[in-house]
A and B are shown apart, each in its own frame.
Chain A
Amino acid sequence: MSRQKNEQLSEIKKVEFSKQLKKQWVLVAWSVFFVIYGLVFYYAPLVGWLMGFQDYKPKDGILHSKWVGLSTFKNLFSNPDYLGVIRNTLAMGVINLIATTIMAILFAILLNEIVGQKKKKVIQTISYLPHFLSWIIVTGILHDALSGSGIVNELLLKFHLVPQAVNFFAHEVYFWPIVAFANVWKETGWNAIIYLAAITAIDPSLYEAAAIDGAGRLDKIRYVTIPGIKSTIIILLIMNVGNVLNAGFEIQYLLGNGLVQRVSRTIDIYVLDWGISQMNYSLGTAAGIFKSAVSIILILICNEIAKRHGEERLF
């Protein structure tokens, strides 16, 4: 009897389904468009990963090129040049992530303490400005500011901090800090938006309670503000750790030069040099696959860590 009932139920569901489908045909038609678009522009390139396991020749295509297994990867990882490139990408990614996160949080907290809505608003508007400038413009500005006769050298010389003008772009030691500074300069105000929103969402009664207990401004920041935005900080860190390897291309490409290329070149620049300029598609693809794989693993690990600590997660 229950089977009969089940059949009836599934029959009703089927009718319901086709009825719904008929009603939703506009949505279904658009969905088809979006699936096709997604397959072509986002999923089809994944098929191209096969090139990393082939000796890809454009005239043979993916279907007829010779399979070489993991030998391209073996070549890649026995190449000190590529290992150096991985190191640069990771190092700059991590330094940038730490520097920009700390600065954004610091800026958000301090801006929140500014008395006067108008003053706050003006500072905030100014803080967004660099985010809207292209890396071309930002690197141009950096070249000006850090050149031999630029403002930075002028100040350093004025206060006798250096005996003579420093050539910032000719020494390897300066490159990573310059990249980190540029990222901080460009994104601090923008990144602070989310932290500021999180601070605004903190229950004001918590501050009042803290004041009654005799807390000063610093105590309130330490015991109310920072705990209040902790989960936002963690979820943004997770999102950004997955992007650590993506953080290096434009600025390194635009600022790098022959003198500092040992520390300036990133995975993307390596892919560009070998894949596009030298037309070694297999090597370029393999170098890119490694980047994607590491990124996904990083996201999953961070997600898991957040889960263990009972924090909000991405998925």
Chain B
Amino acid sequence: MSNLTFKRKLSGADIAFYTFNTIFMAVFVIVTLYPVLNTLAISFNDGLDALKGGIYLWPRKFSVKSYITVLQRDKLMVAAFISVARTLVGTLLSLITCAILAFIVSRKNFLFARPLSLFWVITMYVNGGMIPIFLLYKGLHLTNSFWVYVIPGMVSAFNMLVIRTYMNGIPDSFEESAQLDGAGYTTIFLRIISPLCKPVYATVALFVAVYQWNSWFDVYLYNRMKPNLTTLQYELMKLLASVTSQSTSAQSMKNSTSSITPVSVRAAATIITMLPIICIYPFLQQYFVSGLTLGGVKE
């Protein structure tokens, strides 16, 4: 109803505005999606044929050889295993510790809630810097080990704040009635608060998982010498670097007989690397949207 009356009142300026808006959104969607779809098309195209260019949204000469090449590399299987392992272990550890910390600082009658909270908020703004941190991890024997991926960033003040804000919204009466029944803090955390916090836990888990999955610099910095601790992102980076330096000799590549080229292999590796996240994030949308708006603004 209101829409109908609305339409009748559209002025010339409004029509111009809606036209502009539609064009803007169309361009936005195309610019966002095209590069991804183009990579997908190239990855399924015959490598040699792809070098001729002119592939946009659909492969011209269909082939899955690039994927077979990528999946046959031993290093890539190791990398995939480490990527999955660090994402699972890292997310679990981080979620558990941040949830416990948030629970502690959100207990209203806890004696040290405020100082502990402040202690952690400060860490968001003061940072030791790359060199002292590098030497510290070296001193703690975290370098050249898997644990450097999951232990150092485990507790994060930002994620703690996101969870704390959510916990603050839970009425005190839940805790009080449980306490009257003789429940201790451990029971309250596990049985009362945590089940209510599932949405915010999902949000934080997504934040951490994406961070873990996409990290590559810590591999380069701390575990360069350990090929069995490499990750998908790091292998992709090395692949990229090699392609970029070879792109000038693409002409000579055209004359080679192999139908597998760095360009198509890289496209396949890119798709494999981005696939897990693309499959997951649309389903967690409602969670991260509410989590971000809750914790992001109101510190």
Instruction: Write the residues of chain A forming the contact surface with B, with a CB cutoff of 8 angstroms.
Output: 17, 20-21, 24, 26-28, 30-31, 34-35, 37-38, 40-49, 51, 107, 110-111, 113-115, 123-130, 132-137, 139-141, 143-145, 147, 149, 151, 154, 185, 188-189, 193-194, 197-198, 216-218, 232, 235-236, 242, 249-250, 254, 268, 271-272, 275-276, 281, 284-285, 288-289, 291-292, 295-296, 299, 314-315
Contacts and interface: CB of A to CB of B under 8 A. Distances in A.
Contacts, number: 225
Q: How large is the interface on B (under 10, 10 to 19, 20 to 34, 35 or more residues)?
A: 35 or more
Contacts of B111: 17, 20-21, 24, 28
A194 B129 contact: no
A193 B289 contact: yes
A315 B120 CA distance: 14
Contacts of B32: 126-127, 129-130, 185, 189
Contacts of B128: 42, 44-46, 48-49, 288, 292
A242 B114 CA distance: 24
Contacts of A185: 31-32
Chain A to chain B: the 9 pairs with minimum beta-carbon distance, closest first: A45-B128, A48-B132, A288-B129, A134-B214, A197-B293, A45-B132, A42-B123, A284-B131, A275-B131
Contact of B38 (A51, A136, A151): A151
A29 to B, nearest CB: 10
A271 B130 contact: yes
A113 B21 contact: yes
Contacts of B133: 45, 48
17 contacts: A17-B111, A24-B110, A34-B155, A40-B136, A41-B152, A48-B136, A49-B132, A115-B3, A129-B32, A129-B36, A147-B247, A193-B288, A254-B237, A276-B130, A288-B128, A288-B131, A292-B126
Majority secondary structure, B binding face: helix
B131 A132 contact: no
A268 B130 contact: yes
B119 A38 contact: yes
B81 interface: no
Contact of A136 (B210, B216, B285, B296): B216
